[in-house]
Amino acid sequence: MLSKLKTSAAIIQGAFLLVLLTLMSMPLYAQESTKPKENTVDLEASNNQEFFDTDNLQLHGFVALGVIDVNGSDFVNDDGSLSTELTEVGLNASWQLSSQFRLAGQVVYLDGGNRYEKGVRVDYALIDWSAIATENWQLNIYAGRSKNNHWLYSSTRTVPFARPSIILPQSVYFDGFRDIAVGHDGAGVKLSHSNDDYGNFDFNLTYGRSPISDEQAMNLLSEFATGNAKQEFDLQTSFYWQPAFSQWRFGLSLLDSDFTYQSAKPEKPDAFFDAEFSFQFYTLNALYEGEFWEFSGEVYQSRFKTTGFYFPQFHSDNIAQGYYFQTRYKITSDLTFLARYEDFYLNKEDKDGKKLEEESMGLIPAYFGYHKDTTLGLTYDFTSNLSLRLEYHWVHGAGRLTPVVVPNPRINDSEDWQLWAAQLMYWF
């Protein structure tokens, strides 16, 4: 099984490298394709046709810069000072090879302080096969590195202007888990059906895994974990339904994933032992889009099983639960107001975290057992592709701060902490 996984991983890695190289080798003047064809462009296009038809290439991107200030936690930085670590830059290309095949890739640069690793990433690099495309049915098969398309905002969480707020509900869209949850290297199927009587149906199924860097492993586990963390597999499915002539859409998603930890012992000192982690996550969501009002929410439960890690015979089985509800109101066509409440606890048998404090013999304070966030925000659209966003978060609890497995109460010594941020976003 493991060797099979390794072979498929090698094929997938090869596939997205190929996609990336092809996309990178394209000349930049292909941007012309987004402009309407005029006579002069026609001439240029016909000259390029031997290499590729510029009509079939689309280039897009975004730049977002901002300031963020956190008081009372290490969410962004350790000293609590005002930070400009709120940069997100992305560039993508989509190349239609034929009526059925398409290559697509996006590279992003992120700087979010402690939230995630700073640097350049391949966000996605995939081949898309449009196997069926009729008036009512569409079947697409994706291979390579794809974005997670299962949760309400999972596929747009990395796209500043396409998500509802600068900081998303951390219980679902946890930044510490971002690089693992944002997508996968593997394959996916998307089946869409549009019916005049019953509405729109979308079904997604994906299988793959995400590489885990040493820095991510440290963020998630502990700074004293010197071994290797690895995602063995990630299987996800989701189903969405929008009834005909309805402003509502309903969805559900299921996730099953296994991780392993290989201790650095005995070659190197390591505070931890070999481990197996199993993670399951289920969500239900609803979205209402009216002319002025919008309502959305997700309710979820996760199960996290640990075998080993702290000592070889260790075993734990933990169920976490949470929800968030969000509303957006269009004050004018350019100005949108946002309000959201999120409530999350790491153990449904220990909602106030007291057991956590007792079992850790006081090392982990009770407030690490939950995360409650009240958010207010405003977005102003200057033009069709330039917006400014402002928001304020009042957070109660430290349940969604890194590192996760072995928390750091020395820096995060406050049960209540606040955050404000402003971000200017441009896209094309």
Q: By CB under 8 A, name the binding residues for other proteins.
A: 34-38, 42, 55, 58, 60, 62, 90, 92, 94, 96, 99, 102, 104-106, 123-124, 126, 128, 130, 133-136, 138, 140, 142, 146-147, 149, 155-156, 158-159, 161-162, 190, 192, 194, 196, 200, 289, 291, 330, 333, 381, 383-385
**CB under 8 A, 24+ apart: contacts of 69-73:** 69/419, 69/420, 69/421, 70/417, 70/418, 70/419, 71/417, 71/418, 71/419, 72/414, 72/416, 72/417, 72/418, 73/395, 73/398, 73/401, 73/411, 73/412, 73/414, 73/417
> What is the closest distance, in whole angstroms, from the C-beta atom of residue 133 to other proteins in the complex?
5
Of the pair 37, 315, the CB lying nearest other proteins is at 37
Sign of the Cα pseudo-torsion (33, 39, 44, 48, in order): positive
> What is the closest distance, in whole angstroms, from the C-beta atom of residue 45 to other proteins in the complex?
10
Burial of 4 (0-12, 13-18, 19+ CB in 10 A): exposed
CA distances from 87 to 108, 128, 420 (A): 10, 29, 15
> What is the closest distance, in whole angstroms, from the C-beta atom of residue 384 to other proteins in the complex?
4
Of the pair 128, 234, the CB lying nearest other proteins is at 128
> What is the closest distance, in whole angstroms, from the C-beta atom of residue 356 to other proteins in the complex?
36
Of the pair 88, 175, the CB lying nearest other proteins is at 88
Of the pair 114, 336, the CB lying nearest other proteins is at 336
Of the pair 59, 366, the CB lying nearest other proteins is at 59
Of the pair 250, 273, the CB lying nearest other proteins is at 250
> What is the closest distance, in whole angstroms, from the C-beta atom of residue 245 to other proteins in the complex?
9
Of the pair 242, 375, the CB lying nearest other proteins is at 242
> What is the closest distance, in whole angstroms, from the C-beta atom of residue 55 to other proteins in the complex?
7
Of the pair 51, 137, the CB lying nearest other proteins is at 137
Of the pair 5, 244, the CB lying nearest other proteins is at 244
CA 285 – CA 295 distance, rounded (Å): 11
> What is the closest distance, in whole angstroms, from the C-beta atom of residue 25 to other proteins in the complex?
18
Residue written as token pair 């000259």: 47
> What is the closest distance, in whole angstroms, from the C-beta atom of residue 256 to other proteins in the complex?
22
> What is the closest distance, in whole angstroms, from the C-beta atom of residue 404 to other proteins in the complex?
26
> What is the closest distance, in whole angstroms, from the C-beta atom of residue 301 to other proteins in the complex?
25
Of the pair 57, 398, the CB lying nearest other proteins is at 57
